[in-house]
Amino acid sequence: MERLPKRQRHQQLSRLVEENPFMTDRELTRLLKVSIQTIRLDRMELGIPELRERLKLMAERSYDAVRSLPLHEVIGDIVDLQLDKSGISIFEIREEHVFSRTGIARGHHVFAQANSLAVAVINDEIALTATADIRFVRQVKLGEKCIAKAYVRSGGRSKAKVEVFTYVGEEMVFQGHFIIYRSAGEQVIEGGDERADRN
């Protein structure tokens, strides 16, 4: 494949980063078929900050505050949260998260990121995982950044269905369907059958 003219490459680079602000320079070199130095120069010319700065900017943007658990108990960094709608978190796989012999992440860390995001997205003081139907699509390795995206698909007074998809770059590595119990319904009903108030 022949190299794109600089102007076209700049347009593509801007579009790619706008569509996925979590894209690393290495991923951009692969997609645009240029050296990492070229990507860095292009980013500087276009005023696109490096990944770490882009993440900091996203985290500083105003988003809903987590209600269901203390922020330090969320696994990964929340960069976007709209309660009862959606959320995004980022979790970098470090030495302490992998098997020492293989450098492959232990599954419970990948699950914990998704599970804590599924709970964090719920707009309630108490939210707990009732069930989880999960699938590990591929192994995650040391140094990779897991981007989890949670979507609240339906919500009643006492339970919500939350889907979480975790990606490394463009590739899905984990998928989870969670039923999250919420305490909201309990405050309304004092004794009696929950269904009694329904028409």
**pLDDT < 50 positions in the chain:** 1, 187-199
142: exposed, middle or buried (C-beta count within 10 Å: 0-12, 13-18, 19+)? middle
Task: Please tell me the predicted confidence (pLDDT) of residue 2.
Answer: 59
The predicted pLDDT at position 198 comes to 40
Start-end of CATH 3.10.129.10 domains in the chain: 62-186
Determine the Cα–Cα distance for residues 61 and 76; give it in Å rounded to an integer.
17
CATH code for the part of the protein at 62-186: 3.10.129.10
Domain with CATH 1.10.10.10 in the chain: 6-58
pLDDT, position 137 = 96
pLDDT tens string 156-181: 788 999 999 999 988 999 999 999 99
pLDDT in tens, 131-141: 999 999 999 99
The pLDDT of residue 135 is 97
CATH 1.10.10.10 fits 6-58, yes or no: yes
